[in-house]
Amino acid sequence: MKTGLWMMFVFAVGLYAAEGVPQVGQAAADFTLPSQDGSKISLHDFKGKWVVLYFYPKDGTAGCTIEAHNFQRDIAQYEQRKAVIVGVSVDSTDSHKEFCAKQGLTFKLLADTEKTVSAQYGSITNILGYKIASRNTFLVDPTGKIAKAWTGVSPSRHSGEVLAALTQLAR
């Protein structure tokens, strides 16, 4: 697929709402996936903290880069609120490692190459025969429940939306 067409395809993923999205109040499904540094990360590792669990289509694309930069820009504000940021896509750990190095990202990006976790969170999209993660985010509270869910988010303003919700919910 040519680069321009691929970029339009990845952008379009954000326009589709996923079915089977976990609902507010529901327990967040636990999982274990490899991160960009090769370590295994499980959702239960963050018990007692807020978790911004965001799914995104593809490393290195325009929207995904903007979204990641904004989370990185705001990371100190998340840390002040005892929150961690965890990104998930169907890209490989090598792709994540390269993306983090190139973009200066310090939070964990998890490789869901089998697409099981993305599907579990209603965040897998099949467009033109390609299965990639939808642009959805779940705010998981310190007890492991879904506190807020966003589907089809706008990469440029999403970090601010998550911070506003986190500030309100963490009171």
Residue of 52, 64, 90, 163 marked active site: 64
Tell me if residue 100 is catalytic.
Answer: no
Say how far apart CA 165 and CA 98 lie, in whole Å. 31
Contacts of 2 (CB under 8 A, 6+ apart): none
State the distance between the two ends of the chain, measured CA to CA, in whole angstroms: 47
Classify residue 20 as exposed, middle or buried by CB count within 10 Å of its CB (0-12, 13-18, 19+).
exposed
Sheet holding 83-89, edge to edge: 108-111, 83-89, 50-55, 137-140, 146-150
Say how far apart CA 115 and CA 141 lie, in whole Å. 24
H helical segments located in 14-115? 62-73, 75-80, 93-103
Give which of 57, 125, 50, 106 is closest to 81, Cα–Cα: 50
Say how far apart CA 135 and CA 18 lie, in whole Å. 9
Task: State the catalytic residues.
Answer: 64
